[in-house]
Amino acid sequence: MPAVTAVHDASGFLLSSFRDREGLAMPVRETEARIEQVVAGLRSCDHVRWMSAASAAEQAMEVTRRLHAPEYLAFLADASAATAGDILEPRFAEAGVVPDTPVTPGAYAAALQAVSAAVAAANALTGGDRYAYAVCRPPGHHAGRAFMGGYCYLNNAGAAAQVLRDAGQRVGVVDVDFHHGNGTADVLRHVPDVPFLSLHASTLDAFPYRETTPRGANQQFVAFRAPPSADDYLERLADHLGPFRHLDVIIVSIGYDLVEGDPHGGWHMTPGFFQRLSRLFRETDRPLCFIQEGGYALPQLAACARELALGLA
Ligand SMILES: [Zn+2]
């Protein structure tokens, strides 16, 4: 039974506010509790083994400096060190996107810790492991080179891609979160040899609430205007995986917000869908690096993560 190397360190980060598309306060659903559920689901599987990302911290800082703009990182560091309140900065939202995610005390440290998890997972693959799963929090796929949004500050999947490229691996990123990976598209736009595929709900109806177009010839976006069935979704995914079957490693930005009842979602997948999803990736016969993105339906998350892991057993 192939093992899955899971990486997680609890940060205890508390995001204290969040805005909707009109800029109005809404409930914060990006919480430590959701990641505890993901961890519990993975812990229920005998073939998942665990490691800390602590030893990857320095490498994560170095990769972060290459992936993100210096002025953006300086802002994150300064705003995170502020002792009081939330800081919402329109300068560091993506053009045309309403700022929704404030920088709160501790945000930068937590985001760097999430990057460390992604880097450690990538290192596990270069060290010969077959499957790795970085249980990142906060998520990263809405974070661009110089913008935050959608609960994301630093791009974890982009960091994993950078580490694998540095190790001479041909790598691509497939984003299967409910929401479009606008930040990953942005950080990868200057990295033309890393293909990026994002399948998502229509970006007019869901974050980032605007039309999006690929940032280069090797980026493919598949948007669903209506909730797809599991069969439809997996068929569309399989149709687009061609360019990824010849790579050395596939990074999967995994979001569980496709599941029925997700407060940021709107689709109707069951937890069992995620076993079919990971089996489809497994059938590419490539090493896989899963990076945790969204997923906010607390009662469903443990089952979603367990099913995903079972698809790799
Ligand atoms: Zn999402």
Between strands 249-254 and 18-19, the pairing is unpaired
- 191 alpha carbon to ligand 1 midpoint, in Å? 23
**Domain of 173: which CATH number?**
3.40.800.20
pTM of the predicted structure, to 2 decimals: 0.98
Active site residue 142: yes
Does position 192 have pLDDT exceeding 90, yes or no?
A: no
Q: What is the pLDDT of residue 272?
A: 98
Ligand 1 center to 227 CA (angstroms): 14
Q: What is the pLDDT of residue 85?
A: 76
- How many residues are given for the chain? 313
pLDDT digits (tens, 9 = 90+) for 167-178: 999 999 999 999
- Residue-wise pLDDT for 51-101, tens only, equals 999 999 999 999 999 999 999 999 999 999 987 778 999 999 999 999 999
The contacts of residue 58 (CB under 8 Å, 6+ apart) are none
Q: Which of 8, 68, 141, 142 is catalytic?
A: 142
CB 122 within 8 A of CB 66: no
| Mean of all residue pLDDT scores within the chain | 96
Dist. CA 55 → ligand 1 center (Å): 28
CA of 168 to the centre of ligand 1 (A): 30
Compute, in degrees rounded to 10, the torsion defined by CA atoms 33, 263, 115, 290: 100
Using one digit for the tens of pLDDT, what is the confidence trace for 244-290? 999 999 999 999 999 999 999 999 999 999 999 999 999 999 999 99
Ligand 1 centroid–CA 152 distance in Å is 10
- For residue 232, is pLDDT > 80? yes
What mean pLDDT do residues 223-232 have? 98
What is the domain extent for residue 203?
A: 4-310
- How far apart are the C-alpha atoms of 118 and 135, rounded to whole Å? 8
Summarised one tens digit per residue, pLDDT across range 134-156 is 999 999 999 999 999 999 999 99
Number of structural domains the chain divides into = 1
